[in-house]
Amino acid sequence: MLDSPDDYPGLVTFVTGPGKHCGKTTFMVRALELARRGLATRGETSGRAVGPAVLTVGYDGEARDWLSGARKPSIPVRPGDVFVTAERFLRSGGTCPEILDVVPGTTALGRLCIARATRDGTVALVGPEGNAAVAWTLDRLTEPCTGGGPTAGAILVDGAINRVTQAASWPGARMVYVMRVDRAGFERSVDLALRMGLLASLPVYTEPDSPGDRATAGTATGAAAGDKGATTGDRAEIEINAGDRPLSIDGVLTAETAARLPPRAAVIVVDDMTKVFLDWRELRAFIGARRLLVRRSIEFAGIVASCRGVSDAEFLSRLDGAPGLDGRVACNPYEAAA
Amino acid sequence: MNDTHQAWAFAQVDAFLDRCRPLTPWGRDEREARTVLDDPVELESRFDDTACVLRFLTEQAEDGIRLDKLAWHLKRMPRLPLASKDEYEIIELFQVKKFLANYRGAASCLDPELSERFGLSPDFSSLGADGPACATLAAELDRGGSDMETFYLADSYDPELGELRAALNRADAALRADREAYERSAEADHDLSFDGREFVVAPVDIARPLAAEPARYSLEPYDESRYVVRLLPSARALSLLEERERLGQRERELENRVIRRLSAMAAAALPGLKAAVTAITRLDRARTAAVLARDASLRRPVIDAVDSSMKEARFVPCEEECRSLGLAYTPLTASFQSGAIVLFGSNMGGKTVVLKTVLFFQLLAQAGYFVPAKEYRTRVYRGVEYVGEQSGERLAGLSGFGFEIHRFEKVWRGTEDVLVAFDELARTTSSHEAEALLSAIVEAYATGRIAGGQSSGPSRAFFATHFRGIARIPGAEYLRMRGLDRSAALECLDADTPLSERLAGINRHMRYEIVPDDPTDDAESDALAIAAMLGLDPRLTMKARRYLAGTGARP
């Protein structure tokens, strides 16, 4: 899973994880290399080479590190790779960049541009912050360039979980959750993984077509939360009983909002999985009592877990049969074959 | 032009202009600025521009590609630096290149008449003396980039740059070869595959033997059973990296030299670039207005008329609202001669819509747009104002009456030669005093005795009011909405008709037409008829009619 050159071309892969230092950048470097190989193979077949693109979204802690002068991890790029960075870092990585476009607006780090490396080098990624700028950038990266193909043949986006909605709702986008697992935080890591799988498998609520259908409260497509082995790829149509009028929540579902829900509200609908702010135990308890649906699903590519002081087998055994995780957990991409 | 914000909001102009889609950043700036012009020459020129593009759109309708291409180029226009600098950023040079590329693209889509009118030519010759500097700059920037828009500091900009980059590329290739050789060796000797990875996490049994080669492998414990293994650069690679560093510094110097040279060329082309932006903005503005005129069936307004008149004028926001509610909409046909026009009418009779229509048309025309009417004749005013309450708006500390007087005072003391609409002025105070106040204001506008400085023309004021007791001032016009066709409306309703149908019935039988008001006409008010139609207890309606007849007063 996510370890083959064929896993990336034609897709927007949103890479997120639980906070800083969870291994996102390290994973991105590997994913970029694989995407590059996949696109090179396709280019040889089609006769038209196009590189991958890499960017970040949001004003995250790493951008603040730049403002404070702290070092930010840089990404090695090769000729043909496309990246988004701030004007001030454009020429600093030795990539001899060709500017493809300027992102409208400005950020805390100044103007941003989309550039293509013409030589080996490193880049400091600085991404657009607002929804409109993110949409514009993704649109621009998938827009046809001279020669007819898209500007970038695969797009990797690094971003905090609260930005998932922005990028992962893009057509052809999916999300990867990257995490580090160690002995001290083992149980918490297991909970995080189980929670992600469950959230990713929440059924999708579909509005009834006509006012007359409203009484039947619509349908939901997806695996029933709690069903073992359910995945986003094998959603089933679930009938919602006429008496279970869905209650939509605007904004986020927290433990506090959950406590205030009417006891008779059996079906709760949120915008998407990122609007659920319940930890694993709260989420499990919530789903034990009610049905939780999302209006919009986010394609979940899986979890990439780097285990340290814990064997991969031990971690994987705890996730065995968990909703949404079947075949969707990969281990450290830097692991040498034993 | 004074601040027309109040009138603009009251007349719901944005609700109509939201369908306008300027494509360039400067066009969007203008749209957001909501500029209302008071120069007839400038307005006529804008109407001519719109007519010219409208003709082009019509002629090219079958060749959609040309129009699409024009829109594509306009949409891709970037903001570019228009201030002179000794040294531009590379990103700014990119913006200049992209602008020039799309300027040429847009200009090449036009026919000779449009090129001439807007001063746009692909070879920059239309920029006159400033054209050659732009052409030279465009040609120079075209040397850097893999297509017409993209930009980089190409080798060809400096002979030394090309040689130096060739050396850099050789160093990169040698470094890659060195690394690949090490990777192959790790795999062959230790069964350890790096596969392009900077490091690998290897089991102890694979990693420990590598400690015997400290010049080649770096090891650090990962956990109890694994090590992080990195390939160390060879002595040759270290030497190449040093060389690369040195070449990189020199490359930076040469690039800066190229940037300074290109910056000087950009600064020299600045007058031409500014003129080109002005021409593109004008084309975008005219295209936006022409597309709107085509899609919404708009006509060119006549702005040199003394009197104001409109034929089948459609107040589009209201027309669309009626359509969404399944109600009929009646376009307005009317003419106005006086400086003060008083408009009577019952509730739901359409007085406020008439005021909105008048301001809507005037603002559209003075913003440079064609208008949705068979004919609209007016003149240009120095101000367009509205006095009345906007929905949900209050000024802290003032009552509704105080708020109106505050706003009126600003209009009264401001510019003369204003078109102003008063909606139910003084409606919140006693009718006796309100009629006295209204009479005084109507007289002032009817006789042209307005406060303020010199006038370039008389102001014109519209008053929508319920107060029929205001003085009949010579020179003022007194009009009324024709109102409800009561017999027809009552015939089609019975006691069980639901409210929505009653509303639709009132709308169907309301005659939204303006007719001269006859002060001697004491026919019954529509208000009581409408109240009855809306289901008011008939006993109350009957009593109200008796009171009305007993006092002899007119509602």
Cβ of B95 within 8 Å of Cβ of A102? The answer is yes
Cβ of B152 within 8 Å of Cβ of A96? The answer is yes
B86 contacts chain A (CB < 8 A): no
Instruction: Compare CB distances from B192 to A91, A96, A336 and report the shortest one's residue.
Output: A336
Residue A229 is predicted with a pLDDT of 30
Residue A244 is predicted with a pLDDT of 67
Cβ–Cβ pairs < 8 A, chains A and B: 79
A12 contacts chain B (CB < 8 A): no
Residues 111-150 of A with CB under 8 A from B: 111, 113, 116, 118-120, 145-146
CB B373 within 8 A of CB B312: yes
B117: closest CA among B60, B50, B68?
Answer: B50
Which run of H or of E encompasses B122?
A: none
Cβ of A116 within 8 Å of Cβ of B150? The answer is yes
Among A32, A99, A107, A120, which would you mutate to test the B interface (most chain B Cβ atoms within 10 Å of its Cβ)? A99
Q: CA-CA distance, B504 to B328, in Å (whole number)?
A: 9
Cβ of A96 within 8 Å of Cβ of B197? The answer is no
pLDDT bin (cut points 50, 70, 90) of residue A235 is very low
Q: How far is B234 from chain A (nearest CA, A)?
A: 19
CB B363 within 8 A of CB B8: yes
Residue B327 is predicted with a pLDDT of 79
Q: How far is B203 from chain A (nearest CA, A)?
A: 6
Cβ of B206 within 8 Å of Cβ of A336? The answer is yes
Residue B495 is predicted with a pLDDT of 62
Cβ of B165 within 8 Å of Cβ of A96? The answer is yes
CB A71 within 8 A of CB A61: no
Other beta carbons less than 10 A from residue B538's beta carbon = 10
A332 contacts chain B (CB < 8 A): yes
Residue A214 is predicted with a pLDDT of 37
**pLDDT tens for residues A152-210?**
889 999 887 677 776 666 777 899 999 999 999 999 999 999 999 999 999 998 876 54
Judged against a pLDDT cut of 60, whether residue A64 lies above it is answered with: no
Residue B529 is predicted with a pLDDT of 75
Q: CA-CA distance, B266 to B271, in Å (whole number)?
A: 10
Report which of residues A75 and B541 the model is more confident about. Answer: A75
A51: closest CA among A185, A152, A150, A172?
Answer: A152
- The ipTM is 0.83
Q: Which long-range contacts (CB under 8 A, 24 or more apart) does A262-271 make?
A: A265/A290, A266/A290, A266/A291, A267/A217, A267/A240, A267/A291, A267/A293, A268/A292, A268/A293, A269/A205, A269/A293, A269/A294, A269/A295, A270/A294, A270/A295, A271/A165, A271/A295, A271/A296
B32 contacts chain A (CB < 8 A): no
A33 contacts chain B (CB < 8 A): yes
Residues 265-324 of A with CB under 8 A from B: 308-311
Among A96, A145, A180, which would you mutate to test the B interface (most chain B Cβ atoms within 10 Å of its Cβ)? A96
Q: How far is B107 from chain A (nearest CA, A)?
A: 20
A78 contacts chain B (CB < 8 A): no
B209: closest CA among B199, B219, B195?
Answer: B219
Q: How far is A46 from chain B (nearest CA, A)?
A: 20
Cβ of B201 within 8 Å of Cβ of A119? The answer is no
Q: How far is B368 from chain A (nearest CA, A)?
A: 28
Using a CB-CB distance cutoff of 8 angstroms, which residues of chain B are in contact with residue A105?
none
Alpha helix segments (H runs only) across A20-60: 24-46
B107: closest CA among B266, B294, B272, B276?
Answer: B276
Write the CA distances from A150 to A145, B68, B138, B282, integer angstroms.
6, 20, 26, 32
B249 contacts chain A (CB < 8 A): no
**Token pair of B438 as six digits:** 């209204």
The residue type found at B268 is A
Which run of H or of E encompasses B171?
A: helix B159-190
**Residue segments in chain B with a per-residue pLDDT below the cut of 70:** 1-2, 390-399, 415, 449-457, 490-496, 521-525, 550-555
Cβ of A33 within 8 Å of Cβ of B203? The answer is no
Cβ of A113 within 8 Å of Cβ of B94? The answer is yes
Q: Which residue of A has its CA nearest to B25?
A: A104
Q: How far is B172 from chain A (nearest CA, A)?
A: 7
Residue A233 is predicted with a pLDDT of 40
Residue B46 is predicted with a pLDDT of 97
B256 contacts chain A (CB < 8 A): no
Residue B364 is predicted with a pLDDT of 97
Q: What is the pTM of this model?
A: 0.83
Cβ of A335 within 8 Å of Cβ of B200? The answer is yes
Judged against a pLDDT cut of 50, whether residue A226 lies above it is answered with: no
Judged against a pLDDT cut of 70, whether residue A301 lies above it is answered with: yes
**pLDDT tens for residues A77-93?**
999 999 999 998 998 88
Cβ of A99 within 8 Å of Cβ of B150? The answer is yes
Residue A236 is predicted with a pLDDT of 41
Q: Which residue of B has its CA nearest to A307?
A: B223
Local structure of B504: helix, strand or coil: helix
B151 contacts chain A (CB < 8 A): yes
Judged against a pLDDT cut of 80, whether residue A144 lies above it is answered with: no
Instruction: Compare CB distances from B146 to A29, A76, A98 and report the shortest one's residue.
Output: A98
Instruction: Compare CB distances from A111 to B91, B147, B150 and report the shortest one's residue.
Output: B91
Name the E strands within B410-475. Answer: 418-423, 460-465
Which residues sit opposite A82 in a β-bridge? A53, A116
Q: How far is A150 from chain B (nearest CA, A)?
A: 14
Q: CA-CA distance, A306 to A330, in Å (whole number)?
A: 9
User: Phi and psi (nearest 5°) for A303?
Assistant: -110, 135
Residue B57 is predicted with a pLDDT of 95
B197 contacts chain A (CB < 8 A): yes
Residue B444 is predicted with a pLDDT of 87
Cβ of B153 within 8 Å of Cβ of A96? The answer is yes
Write the CA distances from A235 to A203, A218, A286, B39, B102, integer angstroms.
7, 16, 21, 65, 47
Residue A232 is predicted with a pLDDT of 37
Using a CB-CB distance cutoff of 8 angstroms, which residues of chain A are in contact with residue B199?
334
Q: CA-CA distance, B242 to B421, in Å (whole number)?
A: 77
- What is the percent of chain A where pLDDT is above 90? 45
Q: How far is A335 from chain B (nearest CA, A)?
A: 5
Q: Which residue of B has its CA nearest to A308?
A: B223
**Token pair of B411 as six digits:** 């209009």
Using a CB-CB distance cutoff of 8 angstroms, which residues of chain A are in contact with residue B176?
120
Q: Which residues contact A233 (CB under 8 A, 6 or more apart)?
A: none
Residues 467-486 of B with CB under 8 A from A: none
A338 contacts chain B (CB < 8 A): yes
**Token pair of B69 as six digits:** 């291409």
